[in-house]
Chains A and B, each alone.
Chain A
């Protein structure tokens, strides 16, 4: 039951994000400045800033996770090599 809800939520979020962003970037330039619709959307600079910020955030998270895993694995390898040297 819960997983169906999660799936449905993902579907709704995906459609909403797509429609809002498409209208914002491709439709709003052709709408007059004093139309009511303009009040539903922030200034269009944010249509560029928000994806860029999200991309930078995502790469920072992925990069840090990767580096932590690599450092940990290198430390383990160095430890094992040292133990091997001591034993031999």
Chain B
């Protein structure tokens, strides 16, 4: 089972559960049926967006610099530049 199939099956399950509440197959109090059930998909969408933004922000917040790897990479770039220049390739 691929990840796409998994996601789609979970989505279909939740949608059918919601449809049961939306169409009144599952009885609930009138206040919940009128005020809460129609709003749930929008709430789920907004919460999903907020979750994605949170995940992004957390990743950006906790992304640390790696000065040693940076120095090493710069040295390797310089080395590659000199080698290529010696072989006649025009660099920068």
Contacts and interface: CB of A to CB of B under 8 A. Distances in A.
Q: Do A and B come from the same complex?
A: yes
Interface of A: 3-4, 6-11, 13-15, 17-18, 21-22, 25-26, 29-30, 44, 47-48, 51-52, 55
A51 B58 contact: no
Majority secondary structure, B binding face: helix
B46 interface: yes
B39 A48 contact: yes
Interface of B: 31, 35-36, 39, 42-43, 45-47, 49-51, 53-54, 56-63
Majority secondary structure, A binding face: helix
A3 B47 contact: no
Contacts of A51: 42, 45-46
